[in-house]
A and B are shown apart, each in its own frame.
Chain A
Amino acid sequence: AQSVTQLGSHVSVSEGALVLLRCNYSSSVPPYLFWYVQYPNQGLQLLLKYTTGATLVKGINGFEAEFKKSETSFHLTKPSAHMSDAAEYFCAVSDRGRSGGSNYKLTFGKGTLLTVNP
């Protein structure tokens, strides 16, 4: 069974500082990997995803993540935090699917609440 661990349920940074949100996964084969962001009273918005190819993935709002197979990690970074980045961030994985089919079941981490201090 797949699992996702997000280290740190709450991360606090100063505006302009580096943002680093950690995500490690457990899976028998490298899964598809995603980062979603959730603002208060809203649904989830896709930030970026890794399916295949280049291991450094760029997403929206200046975020990027690097897939490291040897470390089973997919950490999310942003060079300079902005006040508008304050939200909850979720790392998720899904299977690559059985032969002839696809698996759309996302397994999520517990989330990391990012606060940005002025």
Chain B
Amino acid sequence: KAGVTQTPRYLIKTRGQQVTLSCSPISGHRSVSWYQQTPGQGLQFLFEYFSETQRNKGNFPGRFSGRQFSNSRSEMNVSTLELGDSALYLCASSFGQGTTTQYFGPGTRLTVL
């Protein structure tokens, strides 16, 4: 069974731009969560989607948004990029009910210049 895939793997943007990251979960998984990893703040939860609905949200500004499609694929968007948004963005998928185990993708490395 294929794992979680994230595209693109690397991105370079400039301040003020916006960016969209994509995540394809493991087949059969309906929950997708997003995390931001930085050296200073560590791993922080952004949001979780289940069956196209945002079920949980972390403490991030409204510039960070996401959505989930009917095939469970998810995208996250960051608008008006700031230097501090440079990070590794990780996506994790799970069945979403019963088990809580999340399986992570390789991440998208975003650099904001």
Contacts and interface: CB of A to CB of B under 8 A. Distances in A.
Contact of A104 (B44, B94, B106): B94
Contact of B58 (A32, A105, A109): A105
B40 to A, nearest CB: 10
A107 interface: yes
A49 interface: yes
A104 B102 contact: yes
B55 A110 contact: no
Chain B interface bracket (under 10, 10 to 19, 20 to 34, 35 or more): 20 to 34
Interface stretch (A13-21, A40-48, A68-76): A40-48
Chain B, interface SS category: strand
Interface in B67-113: 90, 92, 94, 96-98, 100-107
A106 B37 CA distance: 13
A108 interface: yes
Contact of B33 (A34, A49, A105): A105
Contacts of B98: 102
Interface of A: 32, 34, 36, 42-46, 49, 51, 90, 92, 94, 97, 101-111
Interface of B: 4, 31, 33, 35, 42-45, 48, 50, 55-56, 58, 90, 92, 94, 96-98, 100-107
